Amino acid sequence: MQRAVPQDFDRVLSSMCTEPHPAARETAQQFLATNPGDPGTYQTVARLEERAVELLGEITALDDPAGYITSGGTEANIQAVRIARNYADADEPNVVVPESAHFSFRKAAEMLDVELRDVPTTDYRADVDAVADALDDQTVGIVAVAGTTEYGHVDPIPALADLAADAGALLHVDAAFGGFFLPFTDIEWNFAHAGVDTMTIDPHKAGQAAVPAGGFLARSTDYLDELTIDTPYLESESQFTLTGTRSGAGVASAVEAMETLWPEGYREQYQASMDNAHWLAERFQERGYSVVGPELPLLAADVSLELVEQLRDRGWRVTKTGSGEMRVVCMPHVTRSMLQTFVADLDWF
Ligand code: 0PR
267-295: pLDDT as tens digits: 999 999 999 999 999 999 999 999 999 99
> Which ligand 1 atom minimizes the distance to the CA of 75?
15
Report pLDDT for 225. 96
319 C-beta closer than 6 A to ligand 1: no
Could you tell me which CATH number the domain at 22-261 has? 3.40.640.10
Ligand 1 contacts CB of residue 239 (under 6 A): no
Please give the Cα distance from 291 to 279 (Å, whole number). Answer: 12
- pLDDT (tens digit per residue) in 179-237: 999 999 999 999 999 999 999 999 999 999 999 999 999 999 999 999 999 988 777 78
Residue 283 CB–ligand 1 contact under 6 Å: no
Task: Give the contacts of 23 (CB within 8 A, at least 6 positions apart).
Answer: 256, 257, 260
Q: What per-residue confidence (pLDDT) applies to 220?
A: 97
Where is 109: in which H helix or E strand?
A: helix 104-112
C-alpha of residue 56 to centroid of ligand 1, in Å: 19
Structure confidence at residue 231 (pLDDT): 87
Residue nearest to atom 26 of ligand 1 (CA): 15
Q: Would the CB of 15 count as within 6 Å of ligand 1?
A: yes
Q: How far is the CA of 265 from the centre of ligand 1 (A)?
A: 22
Q: Whose CA is nearest to atom 10 of ligand 1?
A: 73
- pLDDT, one tens digit per residue, over 20-45 is 999 999 999 999 999 999 999 999 99
Ligand 1 atom with minimal separation from the 149 CA: 5
264-348: which CATH number, 3.20.20.70, 3.30.70.360, 3.90.1150.10, 3.40.50.300?
A: 3.90.1150.10
Residue 301 has pLDDT above 80, yes or no: yes
Confidence of residue 165 (pLDDT cuts 50, 70, 90): very high
For ligand 1, atom 8, name the residue with the nearest CA.
73
CATH 3.90.1150.10 residue ranges of the chain are 264-348
Q: What is the pLDDT of residue 233?
A: 77
* pLDDT over 70, % of the chain: 100
The whole-number pLDDT of residue 82 equals 98
Please indicate whether residue 179, judged by its CB atom, sits closer than 6 Å to ligand 1.
no
pLDDT for 236 equals: 77
Q: Is the pLDDT of residue 111 over 90?
A: yes
Q: Could you tell me the pTM of the whole model? A: 0.98
For ligand 1, whether the C-beta of 102 sits within 6 Å is: yes
Q: Whose CA is nearest to atom 27 of ligand 1?
A: 15
**pLDDT (0 to 100) of residue 235:** 76
Q: Where does the pLDDT of residue 302 fall: very low under 50, low under 70, confident under 90, or very high at 90 and above?
A: very high
Q: How far is CA 249 from CA 31, 34, 44, 121, 162, in A?
A: 5, 7, 12, 38, 38
- Residues of the chain within CATH 3.40.640.10 domain(s) are 22-261
At 239 the pLDDT is 94
